Amino acid sequence: MESKKSTLEHSYSSPQPSSGPHRENGASHPNSSIFIIIIVVTSFILLIVVSLIILLLRRLNSSTKKTRGNTDCDGENSIKSPSDNFTCPRPPNCNSSPDAKGGCLHAPNPSTPSSRSRRTVLRGVQVFTYRELEAATEQFSERNVIGNGGCGVVYKGVLSDGTVAAIKVPHREGKRGERAFRIEVDLLCRLNCPYLVELLGYCADQNHRLLIFEYMPNGTLHAHLHPSPSPRDAHVQSMPLDWGTRLRIALDCARALEFLHEHVVPSVIHRDFKCSSILLDQNFCAKVSDFRLAKTGSDKINGQISTQVLGTTGYLAPEYASTGKLTTKSDVYSYGVVLLELLTGRLPVDNKRGPGEHPLVSWALPRLTNKEKVVEMVDPALNGQYSMKELIQVAAIAAVCVQEEADYRPLMTDVVQSLIPLVKNYSASSSNSLRFQSIPGSLSS
């Protein structure tokens, strides 16, 4: 009995030694599984991260290529200003030949028959060959000269499609002339405003640099305010400008500068605003031209930049002339000088005048706030045909524009808002006067 019991106990206790290793193996399996799961999850996360990085790099590369493609092929990279009238094309590569394909100046080769009918167009701006412009101006005949000044010679020409144009041949000034050409083409390709002379095209054929503008048949404002036998205005029959025309010219010019200063980002400073850079169309509507000295304004609060002093004596703002500090208020001063010319008919600097009357601003400024003296300084060519109220208001605008301290000068938006009611009132009074004068004629007939 005891032997059976011991045998039975032995049979129950004998498996126990083998159960120890079985439990140890069972405890190690969960640890291995957790380790494997961690490796798998980590690998999966790394795979996702790498995939996202690759995707982002591809998208970035694709957008970069797209931007470059648009700039190279279309010639423009549209960066809209708040007015939606300012676009930023790629500036022309003036160092390349006209047949270069890498930039904007890839005008067709005139010797290739298949390319004669093609025209490279950059946002409405055409690229011309020198031969085409020779044909348009009759080999740049002297009888077609309509302007000859410090910036170059301007010819009247007829393009192949019948468009009458003004073709400007800038004076060669080495690197400075090349830079001025690039600036003018670049800016006028980008600016779209009815108060700026339209650039129809340009030529960068070999060493030739020419600009093609819309034709303004009544020439410069200078030719009408200061008529002289100067050859640059020989094609224009100067005539006295009446008061209403002068008001409209003042408003058109103010709108042009308002656009450049306040509707373009970053702002553009003309830097050489004067009567000879204001052109008149067949209806004596004014447009601003000559952007060879223009500068892009600063993004700083005061918008001030330092630059070489360039421009025309008599139109330069005092702070710019003395320190080279340039802001949009420098253009406001120049505009005030033009406004004084419209009021008085005098030159900005006239050495033929008596002592104390040589500089227009210093002579006029003390008189602009005196009603009797303002009347005395009015251009005799007006023959007294003006509104006294409007005269006083225009004199007040000119006075604030030519203040010696730049901070005291107004924004061009304020000038525009001040001139609009004057032009409207004059137009309304003129139409009423004509309507009243037409009544007796109709009755007598």
Domain ranges of the chain: 88-214, 221-425
End-to-end, the C-alpha distance of the chain in Å comes to: 161
Task: Name the DSSP letter for residue 161.
Answer: T
What are 77-107's pLDDT values in tens digits? 333 333 333 333 433 444 333 332 333 333 3
Tell me, rounded to whole angstroms, the distance of Cα 54 from its chain centroid. Answer: 40
Q: Closest Cα partner for 129 from 144, 107, 112? A: 107
Choosing from 205, 233, 252, 272, the catalytic residue is 272
Q: Is 272 a catalytic residue?
A: yes
The two domains 88-214 and 221-425 share their CATH topology (first three levels equal): no
| Residue 28: per-residue pLDDT | 53
Residue 48, Cβ density class (10 Å: 0-12 exposed, 13-18 middle, ≥19 buried) = exposed
Q: Which CATH superfamily is domain 221-425 in?
A: Transferase(Phosphotransferase) domain 1 (1.10.510.10)
Q: Which residue type sits at 380?
A: P
Q: Please state, in angstroms and rounded to a whole number, the distance separating the CA atoms of residues 169 and 349.
A: 28
What is the rounded CA–CA span in Å between residue 102 and residue 98?
10
Per-residue pLDDT of the chain (445 residues; tens, 9 = 90+): 444 444 444 444 444 444 444 444 444 566 778 888 888 888 888 888 888 888 778 776 655 444 333 333 333 333 333 333 333 343 344 433 333 233 333 333 333 333 333 344 445 689 999 999 999 999 999 999 998 877 789 999 999 999 999 999 988 767 777 888 888 898 888 898 999 999 999 999 888 999 999 999 999 999 999 987 655 555 667 788 999 999 999 999 999 999 999 999 889 999 999 999 999 999 999 999 999 889 988 755 456 777 888 889 999 999 999 999 999 999 999 999 999 999 999 999 998 888 888 899 999 999 999 999 999 999 999 999 999 999 999 999 999 999 999 999 999 999 999 999 999 998 887 766 554 444 444 333 3
Tell me the CATH class for 88-214: alpha beta
Distances (CA, A) of 187 to 125, 199, 294, 432: 12, 10, 9, 42
| Positive or negative: CA dihedral 62, 67, 72, 73 | positive
